[in-house]
Structure 1
Amino acid sequence: MRVIVLTLCLLCTSGLVSAADWFPVSVQADGQVQPYQPLAQAAKPWRICALLPHGKDRYWWGVAWGLDEEATRQGVRLGIYEAGGYENPQVQAQQLEQCRQQNADAYIIAAINAQALCGAIATLVEQGKPVIDLVNGSDCPGLSANSSVDFADMLKAALGYIEQHRPAGSFSLGWLPGPQGAGWVEDLERSLREAEQAGRMRVEHGGYAPVDRASQAQLVRGLLKTHPHLDYLLGNAEAAGFAAQLVQTSGQNYRAQVLATYTTERIIEQIRDGFIVAAPTDSPVIQARIAVDLAVRVLEDQPHAQQVSPMIQMLDQASLPQFDISRLMPPPEHWMIRRDLPQ
């Protein structure tokens, strides 16, 4: 494990040499593949409020770090709030109201629930405040722009990987998506239903829960107890991480090959160890950087795309050495950034 951590740290360091110059980066902007080039600097020190669902893992630490880095580079003032978990939509609503009362110039929101903030967002839109959707997806009308990857495409990438590597014939898939009602989970399940119609795959649903280890471990144990002979298990990072350990170390005759629907630091370690077969990454740090730039562009009436998505990359043992890990998580010395909106 010490070797793994050292390797990760070296990867982090090498990937951060040009972190301040993260651009241009290849994206899909309104459906067109092109290099993304942010503004050199904001015209004034705008005050931007960023809301995240939680700060429990290095995925969201990376998002917070990316937000902070780009805000610093462009010279804007940023508040970063996290709600403590997907079970706390009321906390995120309170944090949004707090920023509204402090008259933030723009809002970047990684929503806990795809619809829960629509009323508050409608009020902001009426007031002419830019609202940028970040990472999780939102169904609310009036959003100024979206910096996100469609998790339906993330699922297609994961299932495509299975198709390329599995034996011929039908197969069974254990499914652990995450918290019910989250926009990214709804996108995953929409894509899964489409794939099921092909008829080659039998899906065993393991249930919904917040993406903390205890909640997901309970679902994993229940799913494997009921369906011990699954061919594959595909789930959120916490579910996949626990399932991989259980399959490898429990002494049971589990044969499931484990994949995750997105990548975190733990997933990278388990891919390298051979516990997890593969996972797609949505480059959350890049999404965060782009979200800040989109907020500034909207504030300054600069040209911008409505939907910007970093290119999805599929990671396995073969591709991992070439992956720039600074797209996924902050350097080792960085933890979660929490900051009230500056005056």
Structure 2
Amino acid sequence: MRALKGLLFCLCLTSLQAVADWYPVAVQADGQPLNYQPLARAAQAWRICALLPHGKDRYWWGVAWGLDDEAARQGVRLGIYEAGGYENPQTQIAQLQACRAQKADAYVIASINTTDLCPLIAQLQGEGKPVIDLVNRLDCAGISARSQVSFADMMREVLAYIEGSREPGPFSIGWLPGPQGAGWVADGESSLHQALQNQPVTLYHGGYAPVDRASQAQLVRRLLSEHSDVDYLLGNAEAAGFAAQLVQTSGNHYRAQVLATYTTERIIEQIRDGFILAAPTDSPVLQARIAIDLAVRALERQPHPRLVSPLIEMLDQRSLSRFDISRLMPPEGHWMIRRDLPQ
């Protein structure tokens, strides 16, 4: 039966991904609703360098695929680099330096942290090279445009879901944010503390770590061993995915309901199977596609918004069937794309 469910799920995903065009798509652009329409094609084969923090999970596989597919559609040449993890900021700096040495025309950057790349970005600004801030948030001058969703808003959606589903009275949350220093983590954590003010809640902080399964599993095990009666466990996708499995196999030793702060393919499967209660999605494939279009618009001096954000969608068992999965993950058989910048 489980195999049949998996087959039907895959068929559903395939049908959802068989969409001719990803646009027009409803977004918030500079704070206003907009049906975003990309350019039909770039005026020339611009060379664009894309930097990602890592390629360890399906979230970034989707980002890489969205970048690659939109670059091919618009006829631009794209290099895609990943730094191997949030613990490798020096690698991302070196990758940006290498792209600059190769004279890339524009840069799309999902940064490891908010400030380390700022000196190099200032140099690129002086050279007139567009820089698009993708997903993670850069706190630098000289950013041409941003394609990202606020993780503060994502957190507010998750907490509103918990508030709408929990029983009245005191409750507790175990919190597993992700890597310290990442902009998306800082934004989500700030929103969490703000939203929980004056709430009858006890918050247990599980600690920071890179978002690989081994690191997050260690934090999950420690948090649940110290607070086995926690009501909700809220964490990054790797933490939530492992926690859901641990709770399900514990023989009712843990009672935590698990939610993720963002969605990956594995999180969707666990929501479908009832292991994870809910998670918001920031549509990373769409963010990547829009980032390429913003880079081309900036290169061709065409009007464009400064900030474009796909609409946040909360996913649970009820809403999952209505969600277009092509906003989140690549088609079946696509893995992480890595490519040097073409000459």
- What's the TM-score bracket when you normalise by the shorter of the two chains? over 0.9
Distance 1:319 1:284 in 2: 18
Q: Given the two structures, how large is their TM-score scaled by the length of structure 2?
A: 0.98
Distance 1:276 1:340 in 2: 37
Tell me what 2:195 maps to: 195
Tell me what 1:325 maps to: 325
Distance 2:190 2:27 in 1: 23
- Residue 3 (1) aligns with residue 13 (2): no
Quick one: which amino acid aligns to residue 263 of structure 1? T
Tell me what 1:185 maps to: 185
Tell me what 2:205 maps to: 205
Pairwise CA distance, 1:243: 0.6
Q: Higher mean Cα deviation, 305-314 or 52-61? A: 52-61
Pairwise CA distance, 1:198: 2.7
Tell me what 1:99 maps to: 99
Residue identity (%): 72
Distance 1:49 1:10 in 2: 34
- Residue 131 (1) aligns with residue 113 (2): no
* Number of residues of Structure 1 aligned to a counterpart in Structure 2: 342
Pairwise CA distance, 1:126: 1.2
Pairwise CA distance, 1:202: 1.7
What RMSD over aligned residues (CA atoms) do the two structures have, in Å?
A: 1.0
Contact 1:169 1:200 in 2 (8 A): yes
Distance 1:220 1:304 in 2: 42
- Residue 305 (1) aligns with residue 305 (2): yes
Tell me what 2:154 maps to: 154
Distance 2:233 2:291 in 1: 32
Tell me what 2:40 maps to: 40
Aligned with 1:21: secondary structure?
Answer: coil
Distance 2:278 2:8 in 1: 19
- How do 1:250-265 and structure 2 match up within 5 A? 250-251=250-251, 253-265=253-265
The change in CA–CA distance for 1:21 and 1:179 in structure 2 (over 3 A counts) is same
Distance 1:8 1:41 in 2: 34
- How do 1:101-116 and structure 2 match up within 5 A? 101-116=101-116
- How do 1:270-281 and structure 2 match up within 5 A? 270-281=270-281
Q: Which runs of 4+ in 1 moved over 6 A?
A: none
Contact 1:115 1:140 in 2 (8 A): yes
Aligned with 1:203: secondary structure?
Answer: strand
Contact 1:4 1:269 in 2 (8 A): no
Quick one: which amino acid aligns to residue 188 of structure 2? L
Contact 1:9 1:331 in 2 (8 A): no
- Residue 57 (1) aligns with residue 57 (2): yes
Q: Which runs of 5+ in 2 are unaligned?
A: none
Contact 1:196 1:202 in 2 (8 A): no
Distance 2:141 2:4 in 1: 48
Q: Higher mean Cα deviation, 250-259 or 297-306? A: 250-259
Distance 1:198 1:25 in 2: 38
Contact 1:27 1:36 in 2 (8 A): yes
Aligned with 2:202: secondary structure?
Answer: strand
Tell me what 1:231 maps to: 231
Distance 1:55 1:5 in 2: 24
Deviations 1:71-98 (A, max 9, x none): 0111100000011111111111111111
Distance 2:8 2:118 in 1: 43
Aligned with 1:114: secondary structure?
Answer: coil
Quick one: which amino acid aligns to residue 120 of structure 1? L
Distance 1:299 1:7 in 2: 43
Contact 1:155 1:261 in 2 (8 A): yes
Deviations 1:29-88 (A, max 9, x none): 011111100011111110000001111111111101100110011110000001111111
Q: Higher mean Cα deviation, 105-114 or 119-128? A: 119-128
Tell me what 1:15 maps to: 16
Contact 1:109 1:133 in 2 (8 A): yes
Distance 2:192 2:74 in 1: 39
The change in CA–CA distance for 1:255 and 1:93 in structure 2 (over 3 A counts) is same
Pairwise CA distance, 1:252: 5.2
Distance 2:138 2:145 in 1: 11
Q: Given the two structures, how large is their TM-score scaled by the length of structure 1?
A: 0.98
Deviations 1:251-291 (A, max 9, x none): 35211100000000110110011000000000000000000
Aligned with 2:195: secondary structure?
Answer: helix
Deviations 1:127-176 (A, max 9, x none): 11100000111111220000000000110010010011111122110000
Quick one: which amino acid aligns to residue 66 of structure 2? G
Pairwise CA distance, 1:292: 0.1
Pairwise CA distance, 1:293: 0.2
Deviations 1:84-124 (A, max 9, x none): 11111111111111100000000000001111111111111
Aligned with 2:116: secondary structure?
Answer: coil
Quick one: which amino acid aligns to residue 245 of structure 2? Q
